Amino acid sequence: MRRSDIFSPRASLLICLTLGMLLAASCQPRYEGRPTAAPTRVPSHTNTPTVTSTLPPAPTVTSSPTPTLTQTPTPLPSTTPTETPTPIPPRAAVLFPLKAGGANTVNWSYFYLSRKELREDKSLLSLSAAVAFQLLDRGIHSETVRVRDHDVTVYYLRVSHVYNQVPIETKLVLTGYFGRAVPVSALPADGAAFVNLRTQNSDAVFEPWRIQSDWLLPYEQRQNLFTQMTLTDFEQLLANLPERVILLAHHPVIWRPDDWAQADLDMSRLSGQAARLNAFFDHDAFDLLTGQSRMAEAWSAYLLQNQVIPPEVAQAGLSFSAEYLIIVIP
């Protein structure tokens, strides 16, 4: 085999490079106690700058002046006093001897027909009367009723009359005021707050027909013959009346049919008339006046024919009204 076949050009070049490296290494000086090779430079780590947050200086808090609290007692809210009704003295009136015109005895069953008007066929057209009553106590009572689509506070007296020898408690209506449960003290000074009154002592001649004649005078002439008194003053008068006293009230019982429309109109706009007339008239479901009530007819039959008050009327509650009052004391 030839030498040139043993060492190929690639192998010859590799041997030459190896020998060259050995020769070069044998020619370098040897260092004792030092690294045999130069240290490889290690790439240094570059520090990333960090943001350091610096707080701004805190503002200085200036103390605000604080007010000095003074302990002041707070007044407690006071309740508005509610007016309480004055207790009504429960003193029933006592009868005393009295004659009307010097002839007829005036007692708890007495009445005087001041007007009796008949038609041509003798049927009754209109009727008015003055009726004597016994006071059962000495105060004004009230209740709320519905009249012509209005609430009306009705003011009345608790009285008794002897009907055919039977005493029956009756409401004697004085007047009324539009509204529900209006106290007497809250009434304004208008016509609804007044009663018309005639007073006299028993030593004077008692003639109810003359008193009725005075009532029919024009207002300018009769105003000096009757006293107009507020309910508040009248209530005080009642409380101060003596034990022996006779009370009479005058009022129409039966109206002419021609006067029904006026009576109905008065009930719709005048609270005093609404209170006094309501029990004497009937209205239908449409609030239309249909005629006079069963109670008005019972009053008429009693006054004209001395008939007994029907039980159903008495149980429903009898009432009479005061166009004006007559008070007689010994």
Domain count, the chain: 1
d(CA 243, CA 240): 9
240 backbone dihedrals φ, ψ, rounded to 5°: -100, 0
With a pLDDT cut of 90, the percent of the chain lying above it is: 68
Q: Identify whether 243 is part of a domain.
A: yes
Q: How confident is the model at residue 199 (pLDDT cuts 50, 70, 90)?
A: very high
Q: Identify whether 78 is part of a domain.
A: no
Q: Identify whether 23 is part of a domain.
A: no
Kindly state the tokens that stand for 52.
């350091």
> Average pLDDT in the 185-199 region?
91
* Model pLDDT, residue 85: 57
Show the domain range for 194: 99-329
Virtual torsion, Cα 132, 295, 216, 232, nearest 10 deg: 60
Q: Identify whether 320 is part of a domain.
A: yes
pLDDT tens profile 252-286 = 999 999 999 999 999 999 999 999 999 999 999 88
pLDDT at 8 over 70: no
| Pick from 18-22, 146-150, 193-197: least confident | 18-22
Q: Identify whether 183 is part of a domain.
A: yes
Q: Identify whether 279 is part of a domain.
A: yes
pLDDT tens profile 23-75 = 344 444 443 333 434 444 544 444 544 444 444 454 444 444 444 444 444 44
* Model pLDDT, residue 189: 80
* Model pLDDT, residue 243: 96
Hunting for tokens 């057209």 — which residue is that? 125
Q: Identify whether 60 is part of a domain.
A: no
Does an H or E element contain 127, and which?
strand 124-135
| Pick from 76-80, 162-166, 172-176, 237-241: least confident | 76-80
